[in-house]
Amino acid sequence: MSRIDELFAAAKVAREKAYAPYSQFQVGAALIAEDGSLHTGCNVENAAFPEGVCAEAGAISAMVLAGQQKISEVMVIADAALCTPCGGCRQKLNEFADKDVTIHIADLNGVRRSFRMDELLPAGFELEEKD
C-alpha cells in the first residue's frame, strides 16, 4: 500500500466516525508526522455553533498528544467535489507543516487535488520566520 493509499484509507475511516448531526457533512483527516506515525481526526459538531472541531484540528491534536510536532503529509476527505481546509485549519496546519508539505483533498473515491502548504495559505501568520 502506498503512502497516499494509507492516508486515504485512514482518513476515510475517520470520516465515518464523524459526529455531524446538524449538517450531516462528515469530514475525515489523516496526517503523517515527521517520524512516520499516522494520526487521524474527524469533525465533531456542537449545538452551540461554532464550538465544534474540524477534522484537521483533531488530527493535529492527536499528533501532538503522541509527542510529534512536525507534519510530513496530510489527507482531507469529504463527500464533496473539493473540501479544502477552512481558514482556521489552514493556519493550524501551517503551524506544524513546512511550506512544501503536501495536503491531498479527496472525495469518497480518491484524491481530487493536491496542494502545497504555501498554496493553501500563501501568507500565514508567523511570529518568527521558519527555516
Cα distance between residue 105 and residue 4, in whole Å: 11
Task: Supply the residues annotated as catalytic.
Answer: 56
CA angle 8, 28, 21 (to 5 degrees): 145
Taking each helix axis from N to C terminus, what angle separates 3-16 and 55-65, rounded to the nearest 10 degrees? 110
CA torsion 53→56→61→66, rounded to 10°?
A: 150
Yes or no: say if 68 and 35 are a contact pair by the CB < 8 Å rule. yes
Residue in the block written with cell 527555516: 131
